[in-house]
Amino acid sequence: MKSPYRHPAPKSDASEAKPWTEKEKPWAGKDKRPAEAKPWAAKDKSRFAPKPKKEKPRPPEDCDVLYGIHSVREALSNPRRAHHRLLVTENALVRLSEGLEITIKPEIVKPEAINALLEKDAVHQGAYLETKRLPLLRLNEMPQDKIIVALDQVTDPHNVGAILRSACAFDVGALLVTFRHSPEVTGVLAKAASGALEHVPFAGVTNLGRALTELKDQGFTIVGLDSEAPEAFGSLKLKLPLVLVLGAEGRGLRPSTRELCDHLARLELPGAIRSLNVSNAAAICLYAVQEAVSRE
């Protein structure tokens, strides 16, 4: 039974229904304010916006950030360093304390706390140190009884760290770099150097050409590595004081640097691959130069 309270809607002819024109719309022309004056009309999209990333705390500007057991241990053993902050896990503290008196009070933390301070995928081994930067060596302070290594726009921190490690093994007197086109002394470089940062001083200059000219005036012999050089390292007769100059991978030494070299020498590579990573080439060159110097 149909409800007596329901009445059927009156039938209308669809053909008679006409859409409103713009003038006939009852709301037309009533509110002509700009959209910014109608806050209720604008959609709030702020909740969909990405949240700002939390900035990592920055160490003091005059501090190096070192991480990894070897780098941190060597820095803690260096009496010329003034340490600012040491974060370690319990296991890392045990390893660092073996035969070493730690003069700064460590903060015992979880590995995640150190992860938050470093770049992604940094292998810190549970040790993080903020320590005051070591002073740069001046050109007039270069030791004349040791080999000096100069880098001509070698920019990869892993390569520079590996070169530094080889330089330490061969008792190099200093590493000469330019302020531009050289990597910063970061944890990446220090970790690749595996502690050598504490043993081989850096010398920073604005212009490598002027620096080499000044060293030549002081009596240094300048030897450059060049894969196309007519001389081989094994045939050189060398003596100290001496600067070994290495160029960037691929490009090698710049023409202006080549002109300043007293000798351009190549490595004898009889195999199918005739080029080496610059850090590997540095280690072989240091051995060849050391042998040439010892023969004199």
Question: Could you report the per-residue pLDDT of 240-292, keeping only the tens digit for each?
Answer: 999 999 998 878 899 999 999 999 999 988 888 878 899 999 999 999 999 98
* Cα distance between residue 114 and residue 124, in whole Å: 8
Domain 63-132 belongs to what topology?
Answer: 60s Ribosomal Protein L30; Chain: A; (3.30.1330)
pLDDT for res 30: 57
* Cα distance between residue 285 and residue 279, in whole Å: 10
Beta strands in the chain (DSSP E): 63-67, 83-88, 107-108, 127-132, 147-152, 174-178, 202-205, 221-225, 231-232, 242-247, 263-266
Low-confidence ranges of the chain (pLDDT < 50): 1
DSSP state, residue 229: -
pLDDT for res 49: 60
**Is the overall model pTM greater than 0.75, yes or no?**
yes
Domain 139-268+275-295 has CATH 3.40.1010.20: no
Give how far Cα 10 sits from Cα of 7, 62, 271, Å: 9, 87, 98
- State the amino acid at position 7 in one-letter form: H
State both tokens at 90: 């319990």
User: What are the structural domain ranges in the chain?
Assistant: 63-132, 139-268+275-295
pLDDT for res 62: 82
Contact indicator for 206, 178 with CB cutoff of 8 Å: yes
Confirm whether 63-132 and 139-268+275-295 share one CATH topology: no
